[in-house]
Every structure is written in C-alpha cells, then in structure tokens.
Amino acid sequence: MSGESSTIRFKQADGSVQAQQADAPAAKTQPKSEVALGKGLDVGTANLLSAAQDESGEIVVKRERNAFLEIPAEFASNKDMLTRLNVPYVTFQNRMYVLGDASFNLANMFGKEVRRPMQDGFLSANEQDAIPMMRFIIERLLGQPAQPGEPCYFCIPAPSIDKENDTVYHEGIVSGVVKKLGYTPRAMNEAHAVIYSELADHDFTGIGVSCGGGMFNVCVAYKTIPAVKFSVARGGDWIDGHVAKVMGIPRTRATAIKEGDVNLTSPRTREEEAVVLYYRNLISYVLQNLKQRFQLARDVPQFEDPVEVVVAGGTSLVGGFVEVFAEELEKVEFPLKIAGVRRAEDAMTSVVRGCLIAAALADN
C-alpha cells in the first residue's frame, strides 16, 4: 500500500464538519462513484469513533461521546423540542435517554452526572444500561451497511498484565452489536490498529502503543502479524489520581493541569513536576513490561532492520511525551534495534483509521 494525500473529514455530534489533510494509504482502487466497502470502529472509554470512505475516496471519521443521560419525566414529554434542537435521544423500557455529547450539556442543566457504558477500556459492570445505550450510539455512527455482511473491524484492548478483566465478554458483546446492524464484525487489538494506520510504509512492522485514559495497549508486529501484545491498567486517569493525591488538589484540577500547556521536558510548577514524575513512571512501567514480554515470547520473528515506535491516543498528546518516551526506552536497553519514536499523525483517530484499513484489506 502506498501513501496518497487525502482528506479526513471529522463529523461532530452537532453535524458540523472539520477537514484535515493527512496521508492515508489507499487499500484498493475504486471508481469515483463507488463507495469502498468496509468500516472501522474505535470502541473507547470516553469516545466512540467510526471511519469509512465516501464516494470521492475521502475518509470520513465520525465521533460521539460514549455517554448517556436519562431525561427527567417532566422534560421527557417535550420530544418535539429535542427534535428541533437536533438532540439525539432514544426511548428504552419506557424511559427516555439523551446520547453522546448532548448528554453532557443536559447534565449540566439538570445538575447531574452522565452515565458511562464503559470503564477502564471495558464494558462497565456497574452500568445496567451499558449495552443498549452503546448499541444506540454505535448504530448512529455506523449506519446501515452498504451491502449485507460488509466488514467492520473494531478495536478491543489486550488482556491486562496487572488487572483481571474479561476480554472475551467485552469482545462478544461489541461483536454482537455490530453483527445485528448487518455487518461482519472482526475484532483487532487496539495497538495493532495503530500499526495498520501508521506503519504501512514499513510493511506493517514495528511497535504500536495506544495511550488511553484507562489503559495503555502495546503491540509488536512483523509484517502485520502480532508477535507481542498486552495492556496495562494504567493511563491518563491513573496519572490524574496520583497527582491529585500527592498535591492535595481536586482530581479535576489535576486533569486540567495535565491537559493544559504542560511540557514533560520543562515543568514550571510543583504540580507540573508531579505530572512529569507520574508520566515517566507510567512510561517506564510499560517499557519494562514490554522488554520482559518480548524476551519471554516464543517464536518471535527475526527483525532484520531497526523498527519504529509509534504512539497514539489522547494521553500521548502532552508536550514532550515523545522525547520522554524515547529517553525511557533507551534506559531499558530493549532487545530490538529502534529506529526512532514518533507520535501518530493524528493521535486521536489513529486507531479507527487502522481498523478501516484492516477492513479494506480484508475486502480486497
């Protein structure tokens, strides 16, 4: 697959569209009037994203918050107003729910907290309406398949090495939701999807790291084939919690500091120094486990050339992340020659674009 310049369009919940130029591999040649088959789906704790090619060959990414809110009875009777305001809502078991981004806005109005279908990368065991609500949101994002059985690749986390989680149940539920919409569901590791989206020019060989809020996912692949994959149950939320605790500040304040203009290579305050400390600790923890897993893995292919490391996800967007990651990688003396470390071209959409590329290749 060779790289071509194309436009990635991001559809927001309010219907507005943002365009961005990016290098997107062309999975197959399609006539201008024909929509390429295959869709990608990123099932994230905070956001759900879908990706598909339109009739002009552009990649269209849709995003929606993975959240919902039950509407109070006195407000639920005014469905016409919700429709006029273009607020997405559904009725389920005689109750009305607002979905996605709109749920955050209404939660502030009613002084309530939104409900989340997922927690730490997996379906929340404490949320009884998680499955139907997420199904409604996914249906809005994917729409109907272009033809019955159209392939849809969706991402799943790898089993965590430091926390018991049920990947079988999570994968089965999401697969069932996608299948009921008329697609042929295919699961792929979240970090493996990063390799598909970012390392086409390297024969899909290298190391992908998806840095999320609930967990970090890691995959080492050789010519598309995963050699090592795992996750750790630590991410941006873990950093926020520890910074808040040691600094004696609210967690929301710690999150604001981390997501502000902090740079990991040049902290300016004690709070920012704490952010740097826990970022370094988390990165070192991931890399130490990667080294150990790689050394213990059986039938690891021979990597003849140095490989590239690509990081993606919202937790990788902080300033200086790539530099600190490279420094910590050098410390662990990884048993594989590394060509360099870089951030994905668009860290927030890298996973869903990788899922789309896998779907396109499967249909080729």
pLDDT band for position 276 (50/70/90)?
Answer: very high
The pLDDT value given to residue 47: 87
What pLDDT digit, counting tens, does each position of 95-104 carry? 788 888 888 7
Residues 99 and 187 in one domain: no
**Using only C-alpha atoms, what is the Rg of the chain?**
21
Residues 91 and 129 in one domain: no
Q: Does pTM surpass 0.75?
A: yes
Is residue 83 predicted with pLDDT exceeding 70? no
Hey, what long-range contacts does 110-114 have (CB within 8 A, 24 or more apart)?
A: 110/69, 110/72, 112/69, 114/65, 114/67, 114/68, 114/69
Mean pLDDT of 340-350: 95
16 belongs to a structural domain:
no
By DSSP bridging, strand 17-25 and strand 3-11 are antiparallel
Residues 262 and 174 in one domain: yes
Lowest mean pLDDT among 91-95, 115-119, 163-167, 256-260: 91-95
22 belongs to a structural domain:
no
Lowest mean pLDDT among 112-121, 190-199, 210-219: 112-121
Lowest mean pLDDT among 5-9, 110-114, 180-184, 206-210: 5-9
Q: Which of 307, 323, 313 is nearest to 344 (CA)?
A: 313
20 belongs to a structural domain:
no
4 belongs to a structural domain:
no
Residues 259 and 170 in one domain: yes
Distance CA 334, CA 71 (A): 52
Domain of 171, in residue numbers: 28-64+124-364
Residues 59 and 80 in one domain: no
What pLDDT digit, counting tens, does each position of 308-331 carry? 999 999 899 999 999 999 999 999
Is residue 258 predicted with pLDDT exceeding 50? yes
Mean pLDDT of 164-172: 88
Distance CA 154, CA 80 (A): 34
Distance CA 250, CA 75 (A): 32
Residues 145 and 290 in one domain: yes
Is residue 263 predicted with pLDDT exceeding 60? yes
Mean pLDDT of 161-171: 88
Lowest mean pLDDT among 34-43, 148-157, 169-178: 34-43
The pLDDT value given to residue 244: 94
The pLDDT value given to residue 350: 96
Residues 256 and 240 in one domain: yes
Residues 108 and 253 in one domain: no
Residues 56 and 105 in one domain: no
Ramachandran sector of residue 164 (left: φ over 0; alpha: ψ -120 to 50; beta: rest):
beta
The pLDDT value given to residue 88: 74
Cβ neighbourhood burial of 127 (10 Å; 0-12, 13-18, 19+): middle
Domain count, the chain: 2
199 belongs to a structural domain:
yes
Distance CA 170, CA 157 (A): 9
What is the CATH number for 252?
3.30.420.40
49 belongs to a structural domain:
yes
Distance CA 210, CA 11 (A): 22
Residues 238 and 179 in one domain: yes
Residue with tokens 């981004």: 101
Sign of dihedral through CA atoms 51, 54, 60, 66? negative
Distance CA 322, CA 265 (A): 10
Ramachandran sector of residue 6 (left: φ over 0; alpha: ψ -120 to 50; beta: rest):
beta
The answer to whether residues 154 and 355 touch, using CB atoms and an 8 Å cutoff, is yes
Residues 291 and 175 in one domain: yes
Question: Is 10 or 304 the better-scoring residue by pLDDT?
Answer: 304
Q: Which of residues 115, 148, 176 is at a domain's end?
A: 115
